[in-house]
């Protein structure tokens, strides 16, 4: 019966498989949030708050803090945060220096980045540059004292379109505040100056974060893997007890 259901699902364009952290990125995230007792998620590059909404739909009830520099997307984000009641929104970009950044705003604001798209991808619908705009920028190591409470267990999600290395550099030693990091990784750079996967993996390892789950999210025209979502957690000392928490509702 199970094999028959799988065949029927595949014919309809779906795949049925066991829902476990090993096989599902979302399940791995759910378990990690619960296992580490995460009570605040810092969403950097939140756009209109889609990721925060996703976490709420999956049962996460802790605090959300979202950063977004693009005014139009921030207006939607702020409305969602206000309606939620346990969600803070800040109109700022995260960077490796305080001050201003020039942001390349694209037709689809989710693709806006400090970096310019590679020519190979510049003509993809929604990815084309629309305008350049100056936005306020802060280092995370100076900003976290204003955003996080002393005893909170924090989780960092980055969606900064190739600018991840700069944001991590701006976190400095404050990156130790986070139990885990979720971010996009490119096998081959989609933006000029973006570090590839081969550079990001050792950088994360040097900062104490080890892979939990990886999920492909973009293939090129030849079916080659271009981009994936990565989930990384800080390793605990051997024998160190972890917080216990009920898993989020699904």
Give per-residue pLDDT as tens, 21-57.
888 999 999 999 999 999 999 999 999 999 999 999 9
Given this model, what pLDDT does residue 68 score? 95
What is the CATH classification number for the domain harbouring 161? Answer: 3.40.50.150
Rounded CA separation 74/87 (Å): 13
- Is residue 111 in a domain? no
Q: 153 with 37: CB under 8 angstroms?
A: yes
**pLDDT at residue 243 above 60?**
no
- Is residue 105 in a domain? no
Q: Which residues form the domain of 152?
A: 21-91+146-169+176-234
Give the angle subtended at the CA of 177 by the CAs of 159 and 152, to the nearest 5°. 100
- Is residue 107 in a domain? no
Given this model, what pLDDT does residue 249 score? 40
- Is residue 210 in a domain? yes
Percentage of residues in the chain having pLDDT higher than 70: 83
Q: Would you call 250 exposed, middle or buried from its count of C-beta atoms within 10 A (0-12, 13-18, 19+)?
A: exposed
Tokens coding 112: 């806006």
Q: 211 with 1: CB under 8 angstroms?
A: no
**pLDDT at residue 70 above 80?**
yes
Q: 66 with 40: CB under 8 angstroms?
A: no
Given this model, what pLDDT does residue 90 score? 98
Rounded CA separation 71/160 (Å): 16
Longest distance between any two alpha carbons in the chain, whole Å: 61
- Is residue 249 in a domain? no
pLDDT, mean of residues 228-232: 97
Given this model, what pLDDT does residue 148 score? 96
Burial 69-102 (b: 16+ CB within 10 A, else e): bbeebbebbbebbeebeebbbbbbbbbbeeeebe
- Is residue 120 in a domain? no
* Count of domains observed in the chain: 1
pLDDT tier, 11 (very low <50, low <70, confident <90, very high otherwise): low
pLDDT tier, 19 (very low <50, low <70, confident <90, very high otherwise): low
Tokens coding 40: 């605040």
Given this model, what pLDDT does residue 116 score? 81
- Is residue 79 in a domain? yes
- Is residue 202 in a domain? yes
């Amino acid at each position: 019966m199970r094999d028959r259901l799988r065949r029927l699902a595949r014919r309809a364009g779906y795949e049925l498989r066991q829902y476990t952290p090993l096989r599902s990125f979302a399940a791995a995230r759910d378990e990690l949030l619960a296992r580490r007792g995460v009570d605040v998620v810092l969403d950097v590059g939140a756009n209109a708050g889609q990721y925060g909404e996703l976490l709420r739909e999956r049962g996460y009830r802790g605090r959300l803090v979202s950063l977004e520099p693009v005014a139009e997307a921030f207006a939607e984000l702020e409305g969602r945060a206000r309606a939620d009641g346990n969600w803070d929104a800040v109109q700022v970009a995260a960077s490796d220096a305080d001050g201003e950044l020039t942001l390349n705003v694209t037709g689809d604001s989710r693709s806006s980045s400090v970096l310019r798209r590679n020519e190979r991808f510049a003509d993809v619908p929604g990815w084309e540059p629309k305008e350049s705009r100056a936005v306020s920028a802060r280092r995370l190591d100076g900003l976290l004292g204003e955003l996080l409470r002393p005893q909170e267990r924090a989780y960092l999600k980055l969606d900064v379109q190739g600018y991840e290395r700069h944001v991590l550099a701006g976190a400095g030693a404050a990156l130790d505040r986070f139990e885990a990091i979720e971010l996009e990784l490119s096998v081959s750079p989609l933006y000029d100056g973006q570090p590839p996967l081969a550079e990001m993996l050792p950088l994360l390892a040097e900062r104490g974060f080890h892979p939990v789950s990886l999920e492909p999210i973009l293939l090129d025209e030849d079916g080659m893997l271009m981009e994936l979502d990565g989930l990384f957690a800080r390793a605990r000392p051997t024998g160190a007890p972890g917080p216990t928490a009920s898993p989020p509702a699904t």
